[in-house]
Amino acid sequence: MSDLENFRQEARAWLEANCPPEMREPVRDEDDVCWGGRNFQFKSEAQKTWLDRCAAKGYTVPDWPKPYGGAGLSAAEAKVWREEMARINARPPLSSFGIWMLGPALLKFGTEEQKVHYLNQIARGEIRWCQGYSEPGSGSDLVSLQTFGEDKGDHWVVNGQKIWTSYADKADWIFCLVRTDKANKYQGISFLLFDMASPGVSTKPILLISGNSPFCETFFDNVSVPKNQIVGELNRGWDVAKYLLGHEREMISATGGGDRAGSLGAALLRASGLEDPVLRADLALFDVDALAFSAMSEKFMDEVKVGRGHPAQPNMMKYAGTELNKRRLELVMAAGGSAALEWDSEASNGGANARNWLRTKANSIEGGTSEVMLGVISKRILDLPGA
């Protein structure tokens, strides 16, 4: 047997022995997602056991190096690991902005001390992170951000406001873009990390159309941040921010799902026996596009892992994946007819489809809008200035 086949057998046996049966059930709602963090309430013993067992083996971040809490798997092994997880429908042991966004940025820009300290905490699910990028006047034009860090020798004093900070009210720490030089637009931003429990940090949830409040306004009033909590160089935080955005966009593109969940057409057909020929044709088209997206994502990911990715790829994936997910939920709603709009009933699982449909509207805004993605893609493909 090849080394890879050996690893597959090993992973399969470990998963059989260690993944609790409850963790092989589909995720039904937000409570089923394990976000970790200082204040996280585990929904069940099984959820905690699954996290602890994976963290002990480095399987929350399989392809991170072992000294930073990972399992040190190669790209090929990590792919096998994902396939074996999917084979038994195992839930991710940990969902985390630390894993998806901050971790990759720390691996590239962090000091050795920062990597050992923060990455291990992330891998064990001990600290929940939020992202302090957007401000009331700075979304797509992020580089115009105004939150200011005043140099006080051994620390900065940060003042300003962020907005749309997902889960800021639940997060333990924030990775935050702060202006540290007012004279330089691009080279006047620093990338700081700080504790959300620091004096002067406050959050205010924003209520959404779906009835949920997943994000907040976040205020900084004379927040003291020690100098060793900067990632990368002073005033060069824009480089870190852009690198992190690439990973965020890959993460969001996964909402497209490709053919991960199997054929949408077949699933809807089983559920409600669709007769409308137009809807059936739309579903067939969707399934074909989902397959193509899945193949494209896999190709891009393989290229990125061996350093052959194109800089436009995360943006292409983000654009295609989020537009696909919006289409997916439009079709689910169309197939469900007026009953799909039910909001509260037990039969509709608390209006799960309708709420998911409304949530997809944000997919093409978060992490950079579709219009902005198209602009970046064209600049990077055509190699225009400002890419």
Ligand X SMILES: Cc1cc2nc3c(=O)[nH]c(=O)nc-3n(C[C@H](O)[C@H](O)[C@H](O)COP(=O)(O)OP(=O)(O)OC[C@H]3O[C@@H](n4cnc5c(N)ncnc54)[C@H](O)[C@@H]3O)c2cc1C
Which residues contact ligand X by CB under 6 A? Answer: 130-134, 139-140, 162, 164-166, 215, 362, 365-369, 371-372, 375
3-state SS string over 347-369?
CCCCCHHHHHHHHHCCCCCCCCC
Nearest distance in Å: CB 33, ligand X: 15
Nearest distance in Å: CB 145, ligand X: 9
Helices 277-305 and 264-272 cross at an angle (nearest 10°) of 140
Nearest distance in Å: CB 209, ligand X: 11
Nearer to ligand X, 198 or 369 (CB): 369
Q: How far apart are the first and last CA of the chain?
A: 46
Q: Which amino acid is at 278?
A: V
Nearest distance in Å: CB 185, ligand X: 15
Q: Which amino acid is at 335?
A: A
**Helix ranges restricted to H, 275-312:** 277-305
CA distances from 125 to 18, 94, 303 (A): 18, 7, 29
Nearest distance in Å: CB 365, ligand X: 4
Nearer to ligand X, 27 or 279 (CB): 27
Cα–Cα distance between 49 and 19 in angstroms, integer? 9
Nearer to ligand X, 246 or 367 (CB): 367
> Which one from 77, 84, 248, 323 is the annotated catalytic residue?
248
Among candidate residues 81, 91, 97, 99, the one with its CA nearest the CA of residue 43? 91
Nearest distance in Å: CB 5, ligand X: 41
Among candidate residues 304, 303, 298, 319, the one with its CA nearest the CA of residue 378? 319
Nearest distance in Å: CB 331, ligand X: 21
Contacts of 68 (CB under 8 A, 6+ apart): 61, 107, 115, 116, 119, 120, 123
Nearer to ligand X, 62 or 214 (CB): 214
Phi (first) and psi of residue 377, to 5 degrees: -60, -45
**What would the two tokens of residue 274 be?**
């669709």
233 in active site: no
**What would the two tokens of residue 236 be?**
């060069």
- The helix (run of H) or strand (run of E) holding residue 323 is helix 313-336
Nearer to ligand X, 130 or 158 (CB): 130
Cα–Cα distance between 224 and 239 in angstroms, integer? 23
Cα–Cα distance between 282 and 298 in angstroms, integer? 24
Nearer to ligand X, 129 or 156 (CB): 129
Nearer to ligand X, 119 or 372 (CB): 372
> Collapsing DSSP states into helix, strand and coil, what is residue 51?
helix
Which residues are catalytic, by number? 248
